[in-house]
Structure 1
Amino acid sequence: MITLGTAILGAVCGMLGSFAVLRKQSLLGDAISHAALPGIAIAFLITETKNSYAILIGALISGLIGTFWIRGMVSKTHLKSDTALGLVLSLFFGVGMLLLTYIQKQPNANQAGLDKYLFGQAATLLVSDVWLLAIVGVISLLVLAIFWKELKLLLFDPDYTKTLGFNIKFLDLLITTFIVLAIVLGLQTVGVVLMSAMLLAPAAAARQWTNRLWVMVVLAAIFGAFSGVFGTAISASTNGLSTGPVIVLVASFFVLVSFIFSPERGILFKQIRKYKNRKALKLFKTLSVMYEIAQTHNDVSRPHAIKILNNFLGYSVNTLKELEDQELIKIDGQMWSMTTEGYNKAAQLFNQNMETNE
């Protein structure tokens, strides 16, 4: 049941985190998770029990207040969004820690374990919690399906969305509320400190593999779900490992793999493409020099000494070998000559380069 709960949480966070990443609100998850801490403490002080629903409501209200404060500071003052996020994060987290310290000193045995919300404790997930996660996941899917076109427009062109008559404030509030809800639901499993990574890591990994929104959302949900499953399995198989941090580490592993091996944006394939481009440029330079030399003779296959090329940049033994393998030139000892195919290709490349420069 715990594995199912963490899988659902990962999928929901991945889906909604995609919108946070694309809206360049990566720090929003960190601010909201820390802003939820005072709500957790206040809910406990009011109810004097660790009732999960009461704590959830308190965290949700506190998280929403923190979100509205951030938006208010950005819109009403000259503060940048990152400054507002930092201020709200520090203020709410400080108040939350102060309240938790106060609660720990109270003669009430129920406060034991309340600090688990800082780093999470997946083992405390109940069947009712998993059902709640599932319900929120289904509702999130329905909302995304119903408002898909509007949310897609809002992501990439808010001004155009507004000119079409859509209420961008409502759409913004809608997606932000569900992001806050996903963060609050994950506090019990991952904790305040690490919840931001759970929201952003699957989405960041998915972004490396595609340029299409729906593909990114699906991939982020898959990465998030697998992070939950694998993280829970690793934690259960080894004594002393907290589930929340392990889940975040697995999600970070997906990000690392994506950053390195994704075909379009991956570091590995970028370096391969750079190497191929440099190699092609080197071949083109050498072939261009050969073409200019061959142009001065009626017979393009007339041999020339290789040492003539020493005066030109781009020439190397490997370059000549590659051109010979492509049957663009012929090498005979210390002499080279162009083939008809090589001459024609060089002429085509030379003319294209001239047109580009013009």
Structure 2
Amino acid sequence: MTITEYFSLLFNDYTLRTITLGTAVLGAICGMLGSFAVLRKESLLGDAISHAALPGIAVAFLITGAKDSNILLLGALVSGLIGTFWIRAMTEKTHLKSDTALGLVLSLFFGFGMLLLTFIQKQPNANQAGLDKYLFGQAATLVESDVRLMVIVTSLALVVMLLFWKEFKLLLFDADYTKTLGFNTRFIDITITFFIVLAIVLGLQTVGVVLMSAMLLAPAAAARQWTNKLSVMVLLAAIFGAFSGVFGTAISASQNNLSTGPVIVLVASVFVLFSFIFSPGRGLLFRQLRFRRNRRDLQLKKTLQIMFGIAETHDNISHPHAIKILNNFQGFTKISLRQMEENEWITLDGQKWALTQKGFEEARTMFDKKEENNQ
């Protein structure tokens, strides 16, 4: 199946439609909530929570003996919240830094989860088959009820975000000021963290424990390159996440033996790479172009200042001078001469140059500004 055939079958095939809608909704909610994790400098929190959810899945299966996705995800949610509570407690009650607490919880919970999964796999009954899909995800197992749950949680998160938008924004950029205004910062922090945990848990079935943090952070990291406004960043992150889910699913379905979760993460990484290079404000390409333009402008102004100093020694500022006089001055290039001629700062006649009235006034303005700055 080609990608074109995939999109032509999308609205007629139940399975393709369900998986695509599920991955798109997952990408959108992860992008929205991941923006808050990125801006709060808690990028590793998603990785820790996704790994901390694994023992909850195993314990839920051991208690119920069933592979009902809702029950397993409920166990993952409880385990993820416990892991988050441990992280908060270690950073607040001890001298440990947040990265140390994240690493400890991630390793401890993931190791315990793998131990439980190994124990479950060695049980004599065959009901435990398929639990390992939560490690790397298996989007093909999504059904309509799973997608409906994702839509409900996304809608709930969106409503809460709109209701507490001002409080969320204040807490993100100035927690101390938020306290002085009388807001309950602990409640706001817990609310944001709860929905981040909820989004991570929802994505375990699709993307898996190992890759879920990338799904949470990649769309937000890409969106951050394009704007300084929170609302725009959240919207862009949701769009990038949704497109990553759709195109990742399409690429996975069009090829044999390609897991959907890893492909979605790779597509999201392409958005990040594109944003890092081509975003106008922070992109590497435009940054390099600005650097070259600024360096060229500096060379022009430095050469103009030199010419101004030479022209001032004559009563007639338009008196021609030999170009070779400039050879000993750093920053002078033939390209800068041509650019200055285009700016009508100088006139060129063979191997001689002469300062124009416009160039003289430009140089005088630069000198006046320099003197003001020195004062």
TM-score range, shorter chain: over 0.9
Distance in 2 (CA, whole Å) between partners of 1:283 and 1:156 is 40
Q: CA deviation at 1:311?
A: 2.2
Distance 1:287 1:330 in 2: 12
1:192, 1:36 → 2: CA distance? 8
**Given the alignment of the two structures, is residue 93 of structure 1 paired with residue 110 of structure 2, yes or no?**
yes
Mapping for residues 209-220 of structure 1, pairs under 5 Å = 209-220=226-237
Secondary structure of the 1:337 match is strand
How much does 1:26 deviate? 0.1
Is 1:247 equivalent to 2:261 in the alignment? no
SS at match of 1:196: helix
TM-score, structure 2 normalization: 0.95
Task: Using the TM superposition, name which of 273-282 and 108-117 deviates more.
Answer: 108-117
From 191, 207, 230, give the equivalent of 1:174. Answer: 191
Alpha-carbon distance in 1 for matches of 2:60, 2:125: 15
SS state at 2:53 partner: helix
Corresponding residue for residue 302 of structure 1: 319
Q: Paired residue for 2:33, among 11, 16, 19?
A: 16
Identity %: 73
Q: Note the alpha carbon deviations across 1:12-32, whole angstroms, 9 max, x for none.
A: 000000000000000000000
| 12-21 or 294-303, which deviates more | 294-303
Counterpart of 2:253 in structure 1 is 236
The superposition leaves residues 161-204 of structure 1 with CA deviations (integer Å, 9 ceiling, x where unpaired) of 01111100000000100000000000000000000000000000
Residue 332 of structure 1 pairs with residue 349 of structure 2: yes
Q: In structure 1, what is the equivalent of residue 56 of structure 2? A: 39
Q: What stretches of structure 1 of length at least 5 have no aligned partner? A: none
Q: Report the secondary structure of 1:110's partner residue.
A: coil
Say which SS state the counterpart of residue 127 (structure 2) adopts.
helix
Rounded to whole Å, the distance in 1 between the matches of 2:31 and 2:347 is 57
Q: 1:112 maps to what in 2? A: 129
Cα root mean square deviation, aligned:
0.7
**Structure 2 match to 1:148:** 165
Structure 1 stretches (4+) deviating beyond 6 angstroms?
A: none
* Count of aligned residue pairs for this structure pair: 358
Shift of 1:334: 1.4
The alignment partner of 1:111 has SS state of: coil
DSSP-derived class of the 1:336 partner: strand
Structure 2: gaps (5+ residues):
1-17
* Paired position in structure 1 for 2:340: 323
> Which residue is 1:223 aligned to?
240
Which amino acid in structure 2 is aligned with residue 24 of structure 1? K
Which amino acid is 1:263 matched to?
A: P
Question: Counterpart of 1:114 in structure 2: which amino acid?
Answer: L
Letter in 1 for 2:287: K
- Is 1:261 the counterpart of 2:267? The answer is no
Aligned amino acid, residue 240 of structure 1: N
CA distance in 2, matches of 1:272, 1:354: 30
Which segment drifts farther, 311-320 or 192-201?
A: 311-320
* TM-score between both structures, scaled by the size of structure 1: 0.99
Q: How far apart, in 1, do the equivalents of 2:329 and 2:244 lie? A: 55
